[in-house]
Amino acid sequence: EISKLARLYRRSIAELLSDSADEDIFVVLHRIDKDFADDPAVNSEVAQHVAICREGTDLKELLGISDEDGPPEYHLPAPHSTMEAVEQGKRVATQERRRLSLGTNPLPDLAKLIATQGVWAAKADLPDEMSGMFLRHASFGMAILINEDHPLARRRFSFAHEYGHALMDRRASATVTTTKNRKDFVEVRANAFAAAFLLPAEGVQSFLRHRKKAMPSREEQIVYDPGMEEAEERIEARSRHVAKFGKVTYQDVSSLMLLFGTSYQAACYRLKSLELINRQELDELLAKEEYAEAAFGLLDLFDGNLKTKQDEEQRFDEDVLRLQVVNLAIEAYRREAVSKGRLRDISSVLRISAEKLLELAEVA
């Protein structure tokens, strides 16, 4: 009977039997976003993913797997201005890259990276105006859902954005990122984090230096020599760069976005925030986005929605949540921590074949 109730209400058995005092996550979401309360499709979609996260958490507990090594919480004062929000986001992005030993390299698959930090991450069928959400609850820990219908580059940005909420806004039970709250300081902070996390300053600067772009028109180097006695003996080197050759073009921005896996616009604005281009150059580059699309279209690298060829491969990489729970279920069955009936309940939540899951578990 409890198993049937759990399936009916899309809750885990452990949750029905627990005495958690945490407020129901859907009550929190309804309070945050009124439109969410009026959209049964969104409610159902989020409930399905929350149920999977709860099953995964229950299985982790059965297997003695701890998330104590999850991401740290960056305790920050509430930003009181856009500039303060931006500075906080950039600073945390730099610290998090250092903590994860990511260097200045492009990031791997974001969903996998987030999953290694003990945060559930998945795509979901959300309204177009909703980029994603961050959820935290005692019954499943922390979870990130992003809009599966957005282009690949935007999905990557959304994963980074919501991960920023997990790091900086964990005291809130939920945050919902929509077009309506984009100017809120905490959303600006998460956007600044995502931009700096995906496009690290040193990595972008190194990319442009390699192309001899955004460099000063004159460059002077003085080589120190401990043997010199007079200033006239200094070894000096000078070079001049033709300004038009050092100009950042839409081809440079396109190559930058492909290297770091961002959108064309995100790359443009990051260049401006690093003061590698001025406002006029920013406007000129943004106006040439269609040329970037056309140029890469010749190589079949983009479709009309600016999705790269890697999109189909990435699609599977991003869906790590269900794969995580399947692996946990198989391991729990192998250790005789769950029964065949429990395995069937889990398959129901995952919406996969119970027979197939049982077959995989039997041969483990």
Q: Which of 48-52, 56-60, 297-301, 310-314 has the lowest mean pLDDT?
A: 310-314
CA angle (178, 316, 355) in 5-degree steps? 115
**Looking at residue 222, what is its pLDDT?**
63
| CA angle, 303 then 309 then 310, to 5° | 135
CA distance 215 to 199: 19
Query: Per residue in 290-313, pLDDT tens?
Result: 888 776 665 555 544 444 445 444
Residue of 264, 270, 266, 268 lying closest to 297 (CA atoms): 264
Q: Average the pLDDT over 302-330 and give the result.
A: 64
Tell whether pTM > 0.85.
no
pLDDT reported for residue 43 = 85
* Cα distance between residue 227 and residue 229, in whole Å: 6
For the stretch 151-207, pLDDT in tens is 888 999 999 999 999 999 998 888 999 988 989 999 999 999 999 999 999 999 999
Q: What is the pLDDT of residues 124-142, one digit of tens each?
A: 999 999 999 999 988 889 9
* Of residues 162, 160, 165, the one with CA closest to residue 199: 160
pLDDT of residue 242: 45
Chain center to CA of 47: 21
Query: Would residue 39 be called left, alpha or beta, if left means φ above 0 and alpha means ψ between -120 and 50 degrees?
Result: beta
Note the pLDDT of residue 65: 84
Residue of higher predicted confidence among 227 and 293: 293
SS3 277: coil
User: Is 148 a residue whose pLDDT tops 90?
Assistant: yes
Which residues in 281-299 are b (16+ Cβ under 10 Å) and which e? bbebbeebbeebbeebeee
Between 215 and 142, whose confidence is greater?
142
Residue 307 pLDDT: 47
* Residues counted in the chain: 364
Report percent pLDDT > 90 for the chain. 46
Confidence at 67, pLDDT banded by 50, 70, 90: low
Mean pLDDT of 140-145: 93
Read off the pLDDT band of 18 (50, 70, 90). low
Average pLDDT over residues 203-215: 84
When the pLDDT of each residue in the chain is averaged and rounded to a whole number, the result is: 83
Average pLDDT over every residue of 211-239: 62
Q: What is the β-pairing status of strands 120-124 and 141-147?
A: parallel
pLDDT band at residue 316 under the 50/70/90 scheme: very low
**Chain-centre distance for alpha carbon 313:** 17
Mean pLDDT computed over 16-23? 59
